[in-house]
Structure 1
């Protein structure tokens, strides 16, 4: 821009030269640290994992195949089983021992997981007998695995050592690359009572009819992961950090009372042995419908509840290339299903639920499963498995390959609140969505909860918005995370914290909401949807059925988009700094045209405005006549001189000035642009893009988006000159709530008035119960003979 020296300050009474976009000078900044490459924080690339974030030419992973035969004892709530594991070593080094996970040992009396839990007694509040029983061990049952045998393929005993929730099996000879080893483990355990335990797996007793619903997972000794990053991942299972498992093929035979319905990971291999002819016909019918078909009806489930088993049935399931196996069993189960087209492939969407879950589950569960599969497939990889289940029980929400356990139960009268309905939809989307992360893109949950929970929460919110435009989605909106980001930094963990080390009460925002919100900020405000969606899908494609790390995600997102995001990973994932931007002040400039008519007209208007003082206004009436008004001889030249008139000398001087300007310079003057220098501060420390909305005097608006890199030379304060034709009435930061600004009181210039604190005026305060839900109220007030969706059928 030329002729910057002709800028004249109109608002501030000081003379200075404006140089647009020059960074503010200060010695107190660390912007270079924030914008330098992430470097040593990520592992060095190698032939296993490349600098681009993809698997390298020498990438390898182990394989574990299972053949399990198990029996469920409904009278004792226990499982007895034998499993054969065939473990294939694809690592370049030999293995002298194997590690298995014994997750049920978490519930054993005196386990490490129970011992490290903090506890206290508050004398003022007292303590329940249940609490005291838990502390003394009086309530402890005989939980945990009872291992009866560990043998090789020839039936010879193998030496093994149990260390809490891990078991090391010593191999008779080293297992070299390409070799497979088969071992057999015989075991049993008592199933955890879900009531009050908060477990991810167990049983629920329905006292009214005396029947039990089983949601069974982490139920068999499972191979730990051995990889190029950690070697053996054998961190103890302490309850919070979840699971890390290798892929393999499964064949599982589940023997249960013959009146139970079983759903499990994989495909049912012997439907004709366990289903009636009528149920098989319904199964076939469900392949070609757009709505779920009941394979086992509510009437059939209610009949089973009242009967007694006359024997046993064995349900056989098989699954290929999965990392885990879970199942559910109950005589209470209603079973509905439909097939959904997922990118040209037919996939079963199914639900299992007791009558207590209706009518809510019958209307929504399976349809939500189908929607989740199509939504997630579009954004990651096409769902590769043949089926996806949603199972209702008292496990609030948990995920396994092709299986998910979900909560949300209506009231006893069949009505439900809007919150219960929305929770059902969101929890089904979330848990079914976990089929993609981490069941397919197989990250290490024991170490990095955010790699599955955060990515999945992000996709859950997108799928929820596609389900219902008005669905209440808060898990990815920046303003929803500000409450967490406001708390004391000492009470937060960086996202890049080990799962079991996240502080109490912060696991949800740390592992779910904050990473999901970060991805949304990348998609909407940093990268844009097109670049983000492509890179995210590429990450999913690269690491499907493999074991990615955070570095693989970070590198792929940059590699596939061409956007340098190291500053974002540092700020959002490695620190706990909050976002807090502010408009410190705005300076308004325009070009001095040197036009005498404009200059003198402006000077006259300014003088007239300044003359409107209270004294001058009152003097017009209080001073009846001045000396000069009374005696005209007191007037001279200056009493009639118009100092604001344009003279010939003024015009000549202006013409001489114009002759020195180019046509471009003259055009710039004629346009009458406004130059606003906006002084912005980064008070919180977290680097974010800047979004400024200019609200003009004529009521129109214009948004200005400035990339985060504007902070690269000074991370505390920057200035930005905005050029407009119209006059700006107000500047506003972040008008669409794109960044989690913890203090928005300084986001407008001129500053917006604060809102008053509301209080309630009353004559007499009354306190009542929570009342009924709206559906119950509608049922009370409905005309006779009508029906609502809450009525039981």
Structure 2
């Protein structure tokens, strides 16, 4: 049970002159209540677009992008060619004379900024996107626009500005590129025993976001995360007839690409809570299990309310699936695709079980909105896209569960709640790792629990101790540092772990689940398929949960402050208010938190009291008077070790 459910009323007294049972240590205190509890100006002000309650305001707007794509994979030469039509709707109040388009594949060019600036050294390269014109279609007319390609972005100069408040046009681009090998990381072609595995992501020119905060978000892409607009993406993939394709969204034409046996198994999987094999290991050796490789098939997918799509194609896939039961009465489909190398009772045989369980668990926060969730076993990028995640064919045991849960969790952050990952990594990795914590606890009675970081975290250990070196590191960035400015040394410990632990502490130690959970769910629903900022989140949680949390945002998010609270004295008192026990506390670091105080009595019993954060608002070393008349043997702050206290040796005082 959380401590606050067992809390007893506390009487506050600012009695600085009370005698104490033991002197405080001589170490200096860095705590200043006037600094911690000062009014907080958040980075983004409240306006008519984003209001003081952290919600979209009366004048909120967001642009929309829809895509139609038809890609063909040359499986002999590892080349993708595609025809793309982008439909762009300008809902902003600004007429736009130019448009900006992201060209992620250009990061693989030898002369890209990413080649020099990224901490991931690359020794192989491609020529990036190949195309020679951009055609604009507007008002029944078409023309070839002037454009400028600079690194991983393209500026398209329009003949006339695109009208504000609903102006719409289309861009048509026919392009191709060489698919990187396994060195490509998030997108690649990978060899396997039974054929190549194409993992295709960041594969089409995508519109940059134009928003109310920065205008065009068009910084060069150096290999971090994304910030994308929402819309509908309709895409077709042409591959040889012996290939299977799994991808984001719904397969629109299963009768055209699946054998009758596969169609029957597919239908059975949609009704089954147990994993159903659609394509087995034995099928891989049967020439009649797929249409002939001498012809091609068009796999047609469609996904609504999405910011991106990805897919994978291979003749080597084992395919299995099961029904996902959602809390709103709807269903979705859990699916796994992996080569024979991934088969095993502790390997990918359980992957769909993991997908199903995690999507159902995460859906308690907000129901999963798409028709399928696919786990792909390939070269092991460990990367997420809407409705599909890329994991490793050799993953197994707890690692396979953890990475599956983590990458699938990204469907909520940032695929549903579309924060700007390129600026605010903690709203992506931290929020997602936070929901992972509880998914690991819930799965199969904690089979793979505890998980307190990401897929790389050591099993077990106290998370509040693991964060202490980061809080003590003067070089560590804050959670608010721009994502691309966080060095790889700190990316995991700060963006993932500290970001997740901040929400765990907010839920379990500051607000309690009864206030946190409804507020967090409402936040997700309010900002689903929209672009919130950290300021929106901070304001929303304060308003919905009923708490001024400026001190928490300041200490944990805007700064990297430590916590070191201590018990310095215990004394029985008898004054005009009656008898009680005075407990003297002090803080030796800049941050304080609400905490449990446990008094162990001379008669062998004990009692817990909740010490609110307001205790520290006036003094570095407050004294509280509790309605306790028993003789106290020991007083301990945070007896169950829930807080990241830098020095626990001063948390207890024995009399």
Match of 1:367 in 2: 353
Tell me: CA distance 1:683–1:29, structure 2 relative to 1, closer, same or farther (3 Å). Answer: closer
1:192 aligns with 2:193: no
Q: Deviations over 1:297-342 (max 9, x none)?
A: 1211344699983222110111112110100111111111111221
Asked if the contact 1:481/1:514 (under 8 Å) is kept, the reply is no
1:174 aligns with 2:161: yes
Match of 1:322 in 2: 306
Match of 2:220 in 1: 236
Match of 2:423 in 1: 447
Match of 2:635 in 1: 731
Q: Deviations over 1:48-83 (max 9, x none)?
A: 111111111111111111111111111111211110
Match of 1:640 in 2: none
1:678 aligns with 2:583: yes
Distance apart, 1:37 and its partner CA? 2.4
Counterpart of 2:597 (choices 676, 688, 692) is 692
Distance apart, 1:590 and its partner CA? 4.8
Partner Cα separation in structure 1 for residue 204 and residue 52 of structure 2: 37
Match of 2:453 in 1: 475
Match of 1:630 in 2: none
Partner Cα separation in structure 2 for residue 712 and residue 494 of structure 1: 24
Which ranges of structure 2 fall in alignment gaps of 5 or more residues? 1-10, 455-461
Match of 1:385 in 2: 370
Distance apart, 1:484 and its partner CA? 3.5
1:430-579 map, 5 Å: 430-470=406-446, 471-475=449-453, 478-489=463-474, 491-579=475-563
Match of 2:79 in 1: 78
| Larger proportion of helix | 1
Asked if the contact 1:679/1:720 (under 8 Å) is kept, the reply is yes
1:61-460 map, 5 Å: 61-117=62-118, 139-153=123-137, 156-177=143-164, 178-195=166-183, 197=184, 199-206=185-192, 208-209=193-194, 211-240=195-224, 242-303=225-286, 309-342=293-326, 343-359=328-344, 360-379=346-365, 381-407=366-392, 409=394, 420-460=396-436
Match of 2:6 in 1: none
Tell me: CA distance 1:722–1:146, structure 2 relative to 1, closer, same or farther (3 Å). Answer: same
Asked if the contact 2:31/2:588 (under 8 Å) is kept, the reply is no
Distance apart, 1:691 and its partner CA? 2.2
Which ranges of structure 1 fall in alignment gaps of 5 or more residues? 14-25, 120-130, 411-419, 593-663, 752-793
User: Which segment is superposed worse, 242-251 or 716-725?
Assistant: 716-725
Asked if the contact 1:35/1:566 (under 8 Å) is kept, the reply is yes
Partner Cα separation in structure 2 for residue 728 and residue 66 of structure 1: 70
Instruction: Give the root-mean-square deviation of aligned CA atoms.
Output: 2.7
Partner Cα separation in structure 1 for residue 30 and residue 368 of structure 2: 51
Partner Cα separation in structure 2 for residue 305 and residue 506 of structure 1: 51
Q: Deviations over 1:564-608 (max 9, x none)?
A: 11110011000011112222x22322549xxxxxxxxxxxxxxxx
Asked if the contact 1:47/1:57 (under 8 Å) is kept, the reply is yes
Partner Cα separation in structure 2 for residue 304 and residue 699 of structure 1: 76
Asked if the contact 1:336/1:351 (under 8 Å) is kept, the reply is yes
Q: Give the SS at the match of 2:488.
A: coil
Asked if the contact 1:145/1:188 (under 8 Å) is kept, the reply is yes
| Larger proportion of strand | 2
Asked if the contact 2:29/2:587 (under 8 Å) is kept, the reply is no
Q: Give the SS at the match of 1:394.
A: strand
Asked if the contact 1:485/1:742 (under 8 Å) is kept, the reply is no
Partner Cα separation in structure 2 for residue 260 and residue 436 of structure 1: 30
Distance apart, 1:91 and its partner CA? 0.6
Match of 2:40 in 1: 38
Distance apart, 1:155 and its partner CA? 5.3
Partner Cα separation in structure 1 for residue 359 and residue 295 of structure 2: 37
Q: Give the SS at the match of 1:170.
A: strand
Tell me: CA distance 1:306–1:338, structure 2 relative to 1, closer, same or farther (3 Å). Answer: closer
Distance apart, 1:712 and its partner CA? 1.3
Partner Cα separation in structure 1 for residue 450 and residue 268 of structure 2: 35
Asked if the contact 1:194/1:395 (under 8 Å) is kept, the reply is no
Distance apart, 1:513 and its partner CA? 0.8
Q: Give the SS at the match of 2:132.
A: strand
Asked if the contact 2:148/2:156 (under 8 Å) is kept, the reply is yes
Partner Cα separation in structure 2 for residue 85 and residue 485 of structure 1: 44
Asked if the contact 1:478/1:737 (under 8 Å) is kept, the reply is no
Partner Cα separation in structure 1 for residue 20 and residue 55 of structure 2: 57
Counterpart of 1:712 (choices 609, 617, 639) is 617
Match of 2:7 in 1: none
Partner Cα separation in structure 1 for residue 377 and residue 403 of structure 2: 11
Partner Cα separation in structure 2 for residue 690 and residue 469 of structure 1: 29
Q: Give the SS at the match of 2:363.
A: helix
Asked if the contact 1:478/1:521 (under 8 Å) is kept, the reply is no
Partner Cα separation in structure 1 for residue 430 and residue 30 of structure 2: 34
Q: Deviations over 1:429-465 (max 9, x none)?
A: 1111111111111111111111111111101111111
TM-score, scaled relative to structure 2: 0.90
TM-score, scaled relative to structure 1: 0.74
